[in-house]
Amino acid sequence: MTSSQIVSAAHSEGESRGALRGVVAIDGPAAAGKSTTARGLALLSGAAYLDTGAIYRAVAWAVLRDGLSPEGGQVADLAGRLDIDISVDPSLGQQVTVDGERVEAQLRSRQVSEAVPSVASHPIVREAVHQIQRNVIARLVASRGGIVVEGRDIGTVVAPEAGLKVFLTASDDERALRRSRQEGVTTWNGIMAVRQALLRRDTRDRNRAVSPLAKAPDAVEVDTTSMTPAEVVDRLVSLADERGMLRLAAHPPVGPDGTPDDGPQETITSPATFRSLFRGHAAGVVVITADAGSGPVGFTATSLSSVSLHPPLVAFALSTSASSWETVSAATSVVVNFLSADQHEIARRFATSHVDRFAAPTSWSRLPSGEPVLDGVPAYLRAVPESRFEAGDHHLVVARAVEARIRRLHLPLIYHAGSYTTATTVL
């Protein structure tokens, strides 16, 4: 096996760099949520993703294919001859080929799972795979900026210098249920058998002589038992952000004359600031404004959500019966105006039908790029619609944020709970 055989051509040098900088190492026992979390974090941050366990599983699959004993001395020789290709693009899902044969669907079988610990315990196999992993990590950090790597000894052996090390755990019962769902096991006896198999795997992994499963001293332990996958990913995004590992491309603001604006407004230059605009997620109340050439339109939206850090994407919904839809759908860009606690009346006005929402007392102006923006709002995003979907009685718009500005800090935002109310969360 060589590093060039491990990395799919989907992530060769020269690819665009994502938001993540450096290495995130995710370790933990089986069924703790490593793969789901690692892939989700990589997708969200535009990073590469390496499932190191898939390499060992691919070797174990080949051992079974050739009728060898997982404990036998021939395993190391076989591993050295294999041609293994694993995609590191998280958007593709897991794609693994062994000697030209696609095998990812078979790597989670009970037979492979039972053979993996023995195969991975061979010192020669493990050291060879370790070197491949290090080469892959170095190459992808250089070409893409960052990579999320998951396994059992990443933070302790493979990448001890990782900027963020996380050790995922979950209760034995929860892990058994997750693995049972994965394997299609539905009976009580079957689930208990899966549970016992996981505990045996834990014992072998923790007690093997070479690279045992262990939490790195500086790793953050995250118990995923009662957390959704999205909550776990969000936790890791926060941890990476706290360590300065996430970057967003800055879009310097310009004044009316096209020169840089050095006024009191603040440009968002990090995911921490970007994400602070979306603490309420789908509950945040905003006003969407746009102009396709026939005059400004605007409407109050209670469904704004951030859906990605890299690229920074937002989504909002608009009723199919709304008169402003024609303009919004034709506009090349829109403005998302965030509202503070003293702007309830603006939220109500832009939710009222059959009125000129931009007439007095509404105060508004145009950005240098031409879009209408409400005066006095604490923050706004300028976004370019990327996709539009029909969703029942609503249109759903996904837009890419190209400029983000904070004008006033530390103000309560408005949230919708049957009526426009003030939240304690502040911007």
| Residue 260 reports pLDDT greater than 50 | no
- Is the CATH code 3.40.1380.20 the one for domain 266-426? no
Q: Which residues define the annotated binding site?
A: 28-36
Give tens-digit pLDDT for 54-93: 999 999 999 999 999 999 989 999 998 999 989 898 877 7
Q: Which of the residue ranges 234-238, 274-278, 290-294, 383-387 would you say has the lowest mean pLDDT? A: 274-278
Q: What is the DSSP string of 277-314?
A: TTTTGGGB-EEEEE-SSS--EEEEES--EEEEETTEEE
Domains 3-242 and 266-426 share a fold: no
Across the chain, mean pLDDT equals 81
State residue 151's pLDDT score.
Answer: 95
Instruction: Note the pTM of the prediction, 2 decimals.
Output: 0.61
Give the pLDDT mean for 197-205: 93
Q: Which residues define the annotated binding site for ATP?
A: 28-36
Give tens-digit pLDDT for 102-130: 999 999 898 998 999 899 989 999 998 99
Give the domain 3-242 fold.
Rossmann fold (3.40.50)
Phi and psi at residue 133, in whole multiples of 5°?
-60, -45
User: pLDDT confidence of 165, banded at 50, 70, 90?
Assistant: very high
Q: Hey, where are the domains in the chain?
A: 3-242, 266-426
State residue 279's pLDDT score.
Answer: 44
User: pLDDT confidence of 275, banded at 50, 70, 90?
Assistant: low
State residue 261's pLDDT score.
Answer: 41
372 forms bridges with which residues in the sheet?
Answer: 366
User: pLDDT confidence of 415, banded at 50, 70, 90?
Assistant: very low
